[in-house]
Chains A and B, each alone.
Chain A
Amino acid sequence: MSQTGVTGTPGDQEEPMAVSRRRVLQLGAAALPALCGARLLAGALAGSDVDAVRAAQPQGPAAPYDPSAHSWAFVIDTTTCIGCGRCVEACKLENHVPEEPVMNRTWVELHVIDQDGTVHISAPDGGIAGFPTEETLPPEDAANARDAYFVPRTCMQCENPPCTWVCPVSATYQTEDGVILVDESRCIGCGYCMVACPYGARYMVPAGDTTPKGVAGVVDKCTFCYHRITRGLLPACAEVCPANARIFGDRNDPNSAVSVALTGNRVRVIKPSLGTRPRVSYIGLEGEVD
């Protein structure tokens, strides 16, 4: 009997039911890879057909994306940021972010630091239209300021994310390459993750609007432009940044721009005491940042 089980030779005389079951299993085993292959093929065809932008890229046929081979990270250089807000606009257009000024996957803040070290933060409309000097930085403040600079913000894609812990339906999760995503088919829109996030990186899709995938009534957030980075493109905000203030790349690659920036600079993260271990680091931050 054990020999039959191991070799599966057709010599054993069992009742027809067993034979039938075995056949079903064999068929299933044969069908599984075929189905997987068909789906991969369909995915590849759909990609080359629909995605004109990707087809226009100079690279050859892309290898299947392997999340375990990457560890994405951002370094944001506040010493070069000019506060133009192009990143905010690009993010809105790239990711179908609601037009409401308070809802952003990424935004830019102006930090003005007093002589006594107090940090004054402003971000009119998320910085999407820049920071007109006379409106955002009154002359008396500028004269008293010890320092002033712009701080682009986004989801920190924490390695130790509070948002995924609190989600009661496990709708938000961390991918192997380090990006926190929302499974919109599971999200019930309770907003616990928005409360748990120490960085204010999440928003509830407002009534009448949807996520990029067309789902309403759920929470949305920065995905590091997952549809771009898995194709070898930069996130939209990094793509349009005119000041090279947004350095994005793969930490697993020691020669990537982000690895070079991480090793060559004194970087710090926002709210390190929370132990969230953000994947977004900053060059040139001063004082406490909320």
Chain B
Amino acid sequence: MVKAFLAGVLLLTSLVFVGVAVVVVVPWVYGEYGFHPEENARSWAALTPQYADAIVCARCHEAQYATWQGERHASVTCESCHGPLAEHAATAPVKAEPGSLGLTTPDEGLCAICHEQSPAKPAAFAQVVLAEHYAGGRCLNCHDSHSADAVHPPEIPHSLARLPECVTCHQPSGLKPVPEGHVESSDAACMGCHKRPTAGQ
């Protein structure tokens, strides 16, 4: 009888002791999010970023930053087109002349990814049908990539009355050569940029 009582007391004491020990020793969040997740979360936070911010690019490329800022392409950050800063820093010497660095230079394809006409794009966004928009020409021949502005070419200085197609005279080897970068186009494409005053048509 006494032994049973003592055993009961011992059992109760042990249970209370274990209970207290668990409360004291084990963190109250134990197991809630797994085991020791704080350590792991810190290791995720310790990874090195690859992309930075346009303001970092501006430290070396002031002129480009100034052209880009406040223009229509201002919402497109440097790294959207040029790739991550870490890649640039890894491939380029630190104190090289700005402009000589191994920077990713975007090509025509990148312009098209954003600006090719699509019914799924917001109507207010600048879009072109590539086949109709000076097909074959290089975007950057007319457009500045940083400001997104198109250069304004000279207007046609002569009358168009009784004249054949533009390309009859204006070819790379023609009577009146065109500057490099031009592609053979329809009259409509020529007029798209080299506008004539309405009165003269």
Contacts and interface: CB of A to CB of B under 8 A. Distances in A.
Nearest to B54: A239
A244 B45 contact: no
Given A56-B56, A57-B53, A243-B125, A227 B47 contact: yes
Interface string B113-144: 11011111110010000000000000000000
A226 interface: yes
Given A94-B50, A173-B37, A181-B37, A130 B76 contact: no
Contacts of A85: 113
B67 interface: no
Contacts of B112: 130, 132
Given A82-B114, A173-B34, A51 B49 contact: yes
Contacts of A173: 33-34, 37, 40
Contacts of B87: 93
A172 interface: yes
Nearest to B45: A230
Contact of A171 (B34, B76, B121): B34
Nearest to B127: A82
A131 B121 CA distance: 10
Contacts of B121: 82-83, 150
Interface string A156-170: 000000001001001
* Interface size class of chain B, counting residues whose CB lies under 8 Å from the partner chain: 35 or more
B120 A149 contact: yes
Contacts of A170: 31, 33-35
A231 interface: yes
B40 A183 contact: yes
B48 A181 contact: no
A21 interface: no
Contacts of B41: 67, 175, 179, 181, 226
Contact of B34 (A130, A137, A172, A233): A172
Chain A contact surface mostly: loop
Contacts of A276: none
B46 interface: yes
Nearest to A142: B119
A94 B75 contact: no
A55 B121 CA distance: 38
Contact of B120 (A54, A56, A83, A184): A83
B46 A227 contact: yes
A79 interface: yes
A53 B52 contact: yes
Contacts of B76: 242
Given A226-B45, A227-B48, 7 more contacts: A67-B41, A84-B113, A137-B119, A236-B51, A242-B73, A242-B77, A243-B75
Interface of A: 43, 46-47, 50-54, 56-58, 65, 67, 79-80, 82-86, 90, 93-94, 110-112, 129-133, 137, 142, 145, 148-150, 164, 167, 170-175, 179, 181, 183-186, 212-213, 223, 225-228, 230-231, 233, 236, 239-244
29 contacts: A51-B49, A53-B49, A57-B52, A80-B122, A82-B121, A83-B118, A83-B121, A93-B50, A93-B84, A94-B50, A94-B84, A112-B120, A132-B112, A132-B116, A133-B116, A170-B34, A171-B34, A173-B37, A175-B41, A181-B41, A183-B35, A183-B37, A223-B44, A227-B46, A231-B49, A236-B51, A240-B79, A242-B73, A243-B75
